[in-house]
Chains A and B, each alone.
Chain A
């Protein structure tokens, strides 16, 4: 069953939500295997695209001149991006595993992790948009991807984690709540770091 654990197979699974849950449920992958074969390689993709795009074209944030960040700065941002992604996958899986009892889902951490990867897959693929570092283009690509991710979350959770439709719906909503709170915390922490003098030069 190891053949399942390739990014390529996962990319194909997201186009077949009906099948994806059952495929994930069919085996119990090892946590280290999921980590090494899926989480880490996939988390490398968006930072890589962001680096290439940022170095070649510069980020268009404002309407003015594109913002060129120094190679050192860009490396640092890409690294932070990578760490945030890995942390995001892992923490979401930990939260899902923690809630498993309450919602009668299966308990193997590897399954939770691979499910979270499946859900994150559309967004990872959409990070292709980072190659053209323009906010509007990225929004255009990211939004449908994000909606697809949400759909996969609700659609595949019951089968993949072995719980009933109804409890799966509750669990998916709880995960949405966690993801929202986690992203806003990330936003808050970044902002505190900026206003504390780390990162861009702010006049505060």
Chain B
């Protein structure tokens, strides 16, 4: 009967009800999510994982802008067939500089975490601008505008790198200083291809 008494009390006092809901719903988060967020092991970069250089970072932000992760995952699961199809399975440390993470939840197209180096730059360029020129059955959208715009038309690269440095990405002053020059003369498609070619480069070894 005591449970019912408690219930009556909650039912009659809105403050108690609010408190009760907050308490009950936060337990799961505290026990499950908080330890993960505080777990340094998940945030430690894997060997060979370094912050994105200015060109790849710009490319990554274009990847986010066009929501590529809606159809392409970046997460090779530790399953025999996936390792055969895509390459070594993904490990937490490889994503230490991914803000936000882009693992995705759907593979309308193939996984891209190990796509780096699998195709030539020229192939990627044609494929992004007109996918059906290289894959006749493809249902991927074409992105012709990527070839028409300078990579950093907003001139944001230094602000981006400084923001990331505040979050702990080890960019030096010299790197930030040199960033606009690195992007000079590149188009959006160049930056995106650079990002794709760098994907999964740090993944070495690993089998299910």
B98-137 contact mask (Cβ, 8 Å, vs A): 1 or 0:
0000000000000000000000000000000000000001
A72 located at the interface, meaning its Cβ lies under 8 Å from any Cβ of chain B in the complex = no
Residue of B nearest to A203 (CB): B81
Report B-chain residues with C-beta under 8 Å of the C-beta of A203.
79-82, 84
Asked if residues B81 and A202 are in contact (CB atoms below 8 Å), the reply is yes
A63 located at the interface, meaning its Cβ lies under 8 Å from any Cβ of chain B in the complex = yes
A177 located at the interface, meaning its Cβ lies under 8 Å from any Cβ of chain B in the complex = no
Main secondary structure of the interface of A (DSSP, over half): loop
A202 CA to B84 CA in the complex, in Å?
12
CB distance from A69 to the nearest CB of B (A): 20
Those of B56-89 within 8 Å (CB) of chain A = 79-82, 84
Report B-chain residues with C-beta under 8 Å of the C-beta of A204.
79-81
Chain B contributes a number of interface residues (CB within 8 A of A) equal to: 6
A202 CA to B85 CA in the complex, in Å?
13
Residue of A nearest to B82 (CB): A203
CB distance from A61 to the nearest CB of B (A): 16
A203 CA to B84 CA in the complex, in Å?
9
A202 CA to B137 CA in the complex, in Å?
25
A203 CA to B79 CA in the complex, in Å?
6
CB distance from B108 to the nearest CB of A (A): 15
A63 CA to B137 CA in the complex, in Å?
10
Report A-chain residues with C-beta under 8 Å of the C-beta of B79.
203-204
CB distance from A126 to the nearest CB of B (A): 28
Residue of A nearest to B137 (CB): A63
Report A-chain residues with C-beta under 8 Å of the C-beta of B80.
203-204
A203 CA to B80 CA in the complex, in Å?
5
Those of A150-204 within 8 Å (CB) of chain B = 202-204
A204 CA to B84 CA in the complex, in Å?
11
Residue of A nearest to B81 (CB): A203
B2-29 contact mask (Cβ, 8 Å, vs A): 1 or 0:
0000000000000000000000000000
Residue of A nearest to B85 (CB): A203
Report B-chain residues with C-beta under 8 Å of the C-beta of A63.
137
A204 CA to B89 CA in the complex, in Å?
13
Residue of B nearest to A202 (CB): B81
CB distance from A196 to the nearest CB of B (A): 14
CB distance from A63 to the nearest CB of B (A): 7
CB distance from A20 to the nearest CB of B (A): 43
Those of A20-56 within 8 Å (CB) of chain B = none
Residue of A nearest to B79 (CB): A204
A203 CA to B81 CA in the complex, in Å?
4
Query: In this complex, which of A63, A202, A203 has the most chain B Cβ atoms within 10 angstroms of its Cβ?
Result: A203
A63 CA to B82 CA in the complex, in Å?
20
A203 CA to B83 CA in the complex, in Å?
9
A63 CA to B81 CA in the complex, in Å?
19
CB distance from B76 to the nearest CB of A (A): 13
A202 CA to B81 CA in the complex, in Å?
7
CB distance from B8 to the nearest CB of A (A): 32
8 more A-B residue pairs beyond the given contacts A202-B81, A203-B80, with a C-beta to C-beta distance below 8 A: A63-B137, A203-B79, A203-B81, A203-B82, A203-B84, A204-B79, A204-B80, A204-B81
Q: Can you list 10 contacts pairing A with B, beta carbon distance less than 8 Å?
A: A63-B137, A202-B81, A203-B79, A203-B80, A203-B81, A203-B82, A203-B84, A204-B79, A204-B80, A204-B81
Chain B residues proximal to chain A, CB less than 8 Å: 79-82, 84, 137
Q: Lowest 8 A-B CB distances belong to which pairs?
A: A203-B81, A203-B80, A204-B79, A203-B79, A203-B84, A204-B80, A202-B81, A204-B81
